[in-house]
């Protein structure tokens, strides 16, 4: 029987590429999205992957949605926490709401989804949780104290949960993408983007499919001895 995978923020950009990659691996995939119904419909029409609308920052909504997915297609075996937002600004200009929105979505969403999926993974003695962090959670970034804190938190969350899951056959890993050619990066002014690319040793932006291939590996049977790790896919921009 095919494994059931959910990808949050799965209808666009990196999330869409991950959904397509896991489907190609033979998994039964569902996507989550937060707001854009039109894009979600187009995604489902193109890929055949159903999309469920709920806010990953809303604990009760997540529990209800995961129960509905379990009823519709089966309990979730593979969780990819990809959903994320930005509310950039320097500390002095950042509102408390901007801080909380980013932390609750980017980091809180990981807790909410893991909480909803972990018991089933424990009971069947197999599970994969893959959290999408960021180079900016590793190295920091001017004007992103909220985003950098949330993404850095994901890396700590990954290491701690990996220790809880290991004896149940649940691996928990993270991927830290660098700058990828998605809509989010396309919104960066061209002169700023040129400066970013100049700092990437391989000399280009990454592709969403390159992140998806990393997820496919971590979600596979072959990755059973990999847990608590962070895979950096950033073209050499940040090494440590």
Find the catalytic residue in 33, 147, 179, 240.
Answer: 147
Dist. CA 171–CA 126, nearest whole Å: 8
Delineate the domains of the chain, giving CATH numbers in brackets: 4-231 (3.40.50.720)
Annotation marks residue 179 as catalytic? no
pTM of the complete model: 0.95
pLDDT of residue 27: 98
Structural contact between residues 175 and 110, judged by C-beta atoms closer than 8 angstroms: no
pLDDT of residue 188: 81
- pLDDT per residue, tens digit, the chain (240 aa), is 899 999 999 999 999 999 999 999 999 999 999 999 999 999 999 999 999 999 999 999 999 999 999 999 999 999 999 999 989 999 999 999 999 999 999 999 999 999 999 999 999 999 999 999 999 889 888 899 999 999 999 999 999 999 999 999 999 999 999 999 988 777 788 888 899 899 999 999 999 999 999 999 999 999 999 999 999 999 999 997
Contacts of 42 (CB under 8 A, 6+ apart): none
């Amino acid at each position: 029987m095919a494994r059931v995978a959910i990808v949050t923020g799965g209808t666009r950009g990196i999330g869409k590429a991950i959904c397509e990659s896991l489907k190609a691996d033979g998994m039964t995939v569902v996507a989550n999205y937060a707001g854009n119904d039109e894009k979600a419909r187009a995604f489902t029409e193109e890929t055949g992957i159903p999309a469920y609308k709920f806010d990953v920052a809303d604990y009760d909504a997540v529990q209800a949605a995961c129960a509905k997915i379990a009823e519709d297609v089966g309990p979730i075996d593979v969780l990819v926490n990809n959903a994320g937002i930005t509310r950039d600004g320097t500390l002095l200009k950042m509102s408390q709401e901007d801080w909380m929105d980013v932390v609750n979505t980017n980091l809180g969403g990981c807790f909410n989804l893991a909480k909803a999926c972990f018991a089933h993974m424990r009971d069947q003695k197999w599970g994969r949780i893959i959290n999408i962090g960021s180079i900016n959670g590793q190295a920091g970034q001017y004007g992103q104290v909220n985003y950098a804190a949330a993404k850095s938190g994901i890396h700590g969350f990954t290491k701690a949960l990996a220790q809880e899951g290991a004896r149940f056959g649940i691996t928990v890993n993270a991927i830290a993408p660098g700058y990828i050619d998605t809509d989010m990066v396309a919104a960066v002014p061209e002169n700023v983007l040129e400066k970013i690319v100049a700092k990437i040793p391989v000399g280009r932006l990454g592709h969403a499919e390159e992140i998806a291939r990393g997820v496919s590996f971590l979600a596979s049977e072959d990755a059973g001895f990999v847990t608590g790790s962070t895979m950096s896919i950033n073209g050499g921009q940040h090494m440590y």
